[in-house]
Amino acid sequence: MADQARLLETEARSRKTSALQSLLSIRYGTSGWGTTAFPEYGLMRPDPEYMRQWSERWFTAGNAALGLSGAVDGLTLQLRSGSRMPSPELTPVASLHTPAWMHERQAGVGIGFVGPRSIHFAGLMRSLARHGRARLRFSESLSYEVAENTMRLSDRVAHGILWADGLQENMSKVWTGLLAVIDQVRAEGPTETELREDVAMLRKTVEHPSWPLVVMDRLITDELFGVPTETTDDLIATLERSTPADYQALVDEVFPTALALVPDGVAILDARFTPVPIWSQHAAQGREYRLQAPRTALQGQMTRLAVGDSAISLTFGVGQVVNVAFAECQVALAWDDGSRTLISRDSFRLHIRPADWTGGAEILKALDARLPKNRVVPMGPRPNPDPESLSGAMAPAARPTRRRWTFNWRRAVIAGTMLIAFYVLAAILRVALGGH
């Protein structure tokens, strides 16, 4: 099991977090679909008994679907009986109020929407991407790629993302351009010509040799979600009946769910969007601890750790608080030196290094007593020096090199001669001007 876990961890570390994963994480925190943006901490120290119980619950005949591209003789799968498991929960982070935006280190602008699982929603995302390409690539030459993607989150809900890349210096224009595209479709809808082209494109896709694989994937997904599968003819008929007004109404429905990722440095001036909270709204009530060796007097005065019965919080300054309720702690990474890294339901991350604080042993004891045992993951040795340490002497600042002072006779004589000449010239001018 340890060998397989190591292989899976190696694979996981080779993957980069996508804009889609970041959007889902910001929207849903560390539960359900939001977990796709986080490392698979369970692979660090796999528990054989827990894995056995998990597999007995999930790997069952009632929760599996198999697709084959051709007939296979004598194929049987020995799976225990079981029930179809529900899709991941779709509970947004409580402090998130959409439409919202957040700065993220991405090479483009991404806007995510939550909408109905329907052919109309997928069609809307395609329409937005077409309008975006027409404007940002072919008209303004700001983006090389303008793309969209839809993904089913449950039997009734889907997620759509609109993405456009660009140079760093053009990102503000890319952002305003995408918003203008959304507002245009919201006000006018796609044209009748666009709608006919969308149907024609789907018909052409159906004729492609790979289309049966698309159908098979849809059949499997519908089986796992427990919903009936619409035929391709039904989907095409639905699109043929669509009107621009249908898409206008759909934009009105999904725009309030908009969540945007924009690169650092892009100012968000659209009043419809509010920033995603990056600090907790409340601090824990309990015993407070101070840094043992603050690096500056201001840091020592402002930074404090509070440990209560139900939560722990770290305050860096006025309004800068990270709070994690013990009941909402999704994972607690336990390091050999006693450090603990807590990640909350709403994705807040709090690292505590007991050696940084007066009463560090007491802090560690309180954490171990209050944190849910099934959330603790042993992580092994902590990096040394710890890059997240809050105390200890800072590296000495480089002092400016002082030049050794020496007396230069040559420069002194030249300076003195010039000074005497200046006074003589001034006296001559004064006499010539009659003493004025």
Asked if residue 224 and residue 171 are part of one domain, the reply reads yes
3-state secondary structure of 141: coil
Residue 35 lies in domain: 1-58
The answer as to whether 431 is a domain residue is: no
Note the pLDDT of residue 51. 86
Asked if residue 34 and residue 166 are part of one domain, the reply reads no
Report whether pLDDT(393) > 50: no
Alpha helices in 81-210 (DSSP H): 119-132, 171-188, 192-206
Report whether pLDDT(401) > 80: no
Residue finishing a domain among 327, 347, 378: 378
Confidence of residue 426 (pLDDT cuts 50, 70, 90): low
Note the pLDDT of residue 325. 96
Report whether pLDDT(430) > 80: no
Asked if residue 37 and residue 165 are part of one domain, the reply reads no
115: β partners: 158
Provide CB contacts within 8 A for 277, sequence distance 6+: 95, 96
The one-letter amino acid at 373: K
Note the pLDDT of residue 254. 98
Asked if residue 146 and residue 208 are part of one domain, the reply reads yes
Asked if residue 295 and residue 186 are part of one domain, the reply reads no
CB 393, CB 291: distance < 8 Å: no
**Residue range 152-178: average pLDDT?**
97
Asked if residue 256 and residue 297 are part of one domain, the reply reads no
For residues 282 and 1, the model is more confident at 282
Asked if residue 115 and residue 244 are part of one domain, the reply reads yes
Which tokens hold the place of 77? 């799968």
For residues 138 and 401, the model is more confident at 138
Report whether pLDDT(28) > 60: yes
The answer as to whether 84 is a domain residue is: no
Evaluated on CA atoms 348, 351, 356, 359, the torsion sign reads positive
CATH (domain of 132): 3.30.830.10
Asked if residue 155 and residue 51 are part of one domain, the reply reads no
125: β partners: none
Asked if residue 299 and residue 252 are part of one domain, the reply reads no
Query: In the chain, what is the greatest distance between 2 CA atoms, to the nearest angstrom?
Result: 126
Note the pLDDT of residue 400. 35
Confidence of residue 418 (pLDDT cuts 50, 70, 90): low
**Residue range 167-196: average pLDDT?**
96
The answer as to whether 436 is a domain residue is: no
Phi, psi of 85 (to 5 degrees): -85, 145
**Residue range 291-303: average pLDDT?**
92
Residue with tokens 């009748």: 192
6: β partners: none
Provide CB contacts within 8 A for 353, sequence distance 6+: 337, 338, 339, 360, 382, 386, 388, 389, 390
Provide the edge-to-edge strand list for the sheet that holds 376-380: 349-352, 340-344, 329-335, 376-380
The answer as to whether 316 is a domain residue is: yes
Note the pLDDT of residue 6. 79
Provide CB contacts within 8 A for 301, sequence distance 6+: none
Round the average pLDDT of the chain to a whole number and report it: 88
Q: How many domains does the chain have?
A: 3
The answer as to whether 186 is a domain residue is: yes
**Residue range 123-129: average pLDDT?**
97
Alpha helices in 255-318 (DSSP H): 297-302
Asked if residue 265 and residue 164 are part of one domain, the reply reads yes
Asked if residue 44 and residue 177 are part of one domain, the reply reads no
Asked if residue 133 and residue 260 are part of one domain, the reply reads yes
The answer as to whether 181 is a domain residue is: yes
Confidence of residue 421 (pLDDT cuts 50, 70, 90): low
DSSP class of residue 80? -
Provide the b/e sequence for 380-394 (b: ≥16 CB within 10 Å).
Answer: eebeeebeebbbeee
Report whether pLDDT(380) > 70: yes
Residue with tokens 């095409």: 236
The answer as to whether 368 is a domain residue is: yes
CATH (domain of 317): 2.30.29
**Residue range 296-318: average pLDDT?**
95
The answer as to whether 363 is a domain residue is: yes
Note the pLDDT of residue 425. 52
Phi, psi of 23 (to 5 degrees): -65, -45
DSSP class of residue 74? T
**Residue range 170-185: average pLDDT?**
98
Residue finishing a domain among 325, 356, 378: 378
Note the pLDDT of residue 76. 84
Task: Give the lowest-confidence range in 129-138, 146-155, 383-392, 394-403.
Answer: 394-403
